[in-house]
Chain A
């Protein structure tokens, strides 16, 4: 394997140094390292961050390979600076057995662009009535620790309680898609002034907050670990803050789009802005940013949700929920959090790498950039800018809500266990293991 010396990287934005990468490991850190026969990468002006970890990605394989595959999704992830993505379970067939999660995990290894940690479904077929074989998935080669019916809420309180309890046996976590189903029947967008004017059925904040409130109390009662997916309202922030202050073992994520975009975009009736949970108000965005800075929200997770064009090139109500996010996540976080002074690069590394790896119980990712650690590293140019163009997507799908927006930053290189998956901003093709 090629050895690399990365010259003059800015480590988490506070120390300029060289990094030597040999045999998949960061072997040495310091100024003016000997290059020897190593390949030298000039990282002047680039920030070095640990490889990003996404706790919430939809890779669509098996079943919707027209939207994304493990291969195309992990290529997009690498371009976005990710070295590990958690693949959500709402595939077809659903990832509710050891067989399916092992297949997805193995496809990730084979393509080699980015590690894939499959998420197991909580209930059989995401049906919300029978627990899936959580233990079998935990014991499989995929080593599943995160379980979620994402896309659907585990709304049955007894089933949620049992799931929270059951996964304690293997230190798993239930990642809840918090959405009270009866309060959101036919829901199309955030319930607020605009939904009433546009005649689009509202998705009220209380439908999210009521489930989160119930779940933190359940988690407290049974002494379990709970993770809240894509938290989107100020009220949810307050509940999680309260739960944490009580010592409840809860973590929470926010998506890049909920940190930047608001429900006002629905006025275009362009379903590129249709997502679940919906884009909320500017006040919610402010609360989410503050909570992420403060640590009440632990991580950023993309909820990368690719869809083929025909599922968005239609009327709002007929369109699919979701937006792509892997390739723009770091840029959006820089724009919303770093450039606004709310978070420094060490904070970004914590929230986009270390913390998600901890929540997913993945030992080899989200590690600090230090000698002896696995060489999962991303080099990022925060001074670059680009206008987002959907046709530039590495993902198979084009449903980015940032079309036409200028965003800061550019991933220059991504290293996965010492091998570059991205160099000079482009995917390195010959990476297969």
Chain B
């Protein structure tokens, strides 16, 4: 793995390796000293062209727990807000010796441009690009699902049924999840009003439905997507209230889900819109756990991109290498 741009680039073995590595990383968080020396001396740049405090601090925590030096480069108040181009920003980071660039950008494909245009040699990690993809979000979602839904010993999501509900059209989370979960063997159903279903979705490796209720009854996990405020006045649906009635998850709807099914949300939530407060705070909700797992998954991604393992092998022993590093560091 040279870059992490799209979950569509991941083979099942690579995806499983990432999740297994994240499992190791999660155990680090439970230790008194939550730090590994693995990326000591490496520089990770968080290049955020969009405000996203949650994702940025998650990446920052991940990089710091691996002992990397972290530079936060936010577009606001920087040379970018003075009109500096992506190219010049990339050349600057290259000159400063960035080993990895974590990029969040409003333009779909901006991470792919950084990876391919020849401006910079660093590993590129897509932290969300336009309405294209958000691979680490999908990985942390899959990780969370695997912990809850996969039988002991199963490292995939084979046969698990996942509903992704809401503004699929504009959602990078939905795209990354649809690809990754399918790769891991899950059966994905996208649920949205027809206006918020992407053109050509029939070619995706998923089922689709315009009707939430029948899908809920056969879902092991239900992921609610955030509805952006700017969609509300663009004729995608008549009103927030109607959307909420037809596609929102409240406790009455949740009761239709199988007993052990979980509720997910990538955040930030619109409580009362796509998800009711009691559902968000219910015992089925794993939303806070998703955040915790986010750090572990991002540690795994940074580790695999930067530790020199260019051709990861899907064996548990490989991820175990992280821990032996730590032993060494403590010695």
Contacts and interface: CB of A to CB of B under 8 A. Distances in A.
Interface of A: 188, 191-200, 202, 204, 268-270, 310, 313-318
B172 interface: yes
Interface string B116-132: 11000000000001111
Contacts of B200: 192-197
A202 B113 contact: no
A20 B132 CA distance: 61
Contacts of B272: none
Contacts of B204: 196-197
B175 A197 contact: yes
Interface stretch (B16-24, B40-48, B104-112, B136-144): B104-112
27 contacts: A192-B199, A196-B200, A196-B204, A197-B198, A197-B200, A198-B108, A199-B129, A199-B130, A199-B132, A200-B108, A200-B130, A269-B108, A269-B109, A269-B116, A270-B113, A310-B85, A310-B87, A313-B87, A314-B85, A314-B86, A314-B113, A315-B105, A315-B110, A316-B107, A317-B109, A317-B130, A318-B86
Contacts, number: 77
B78 interface: no
B203 interface: yes
Nearest to A191: B199
Contacts of A318: 85-86, 107
A282 to B, nearest CB: 15
A199 B108 contact: yes
Interface of B: 85-87, 105-110, 112-113, 116-117, 129-133, 172, 175, 198-201, 203-204
Contacts of A316: 107-110, 113
Nearest to B234: A185
B104 to A, nearest CB: 13
B132 A196 contact: no
Contacts of A188: 108
Contacts of A269: 108-110, 112-113, 116
A315 B109 contact: yes
Contact of A199 (B85, B86, B113, B172): B172
Nearest to B203: A193
Contact of A196 (B110, B112, B129, B198): B198
A199 B133 contact: yes
Given A313-B87, A314-B85, A318-B86, A196 B201 contact: yes
A188 B132 CA distance: 13
Identify the interface centre among A188, A196, A313, A316: most chain B CB within 10 Å of its CB. A196
Given A192-B199, A193-B200, A199 B131 contact: yes
A193 B197 CA distance: 12
Contacts of B87: 310, 313-314
Contact of B107 (A204, A310, A315): A315
A204 B108 CA distance: 18
A194 B175 CA distance: 12
By CB atoms of chain B within 10 A, which of A191, A268, A270, A316 has the most? A316
A313 B199 contact: no
Given A314-B85, A314-B87, A196 B199 contact: yes
Contacts of B105: 315
Given A191-B199, A192-B200, A193-B200, A198 B85 contact: no
Nearest to B115: A269
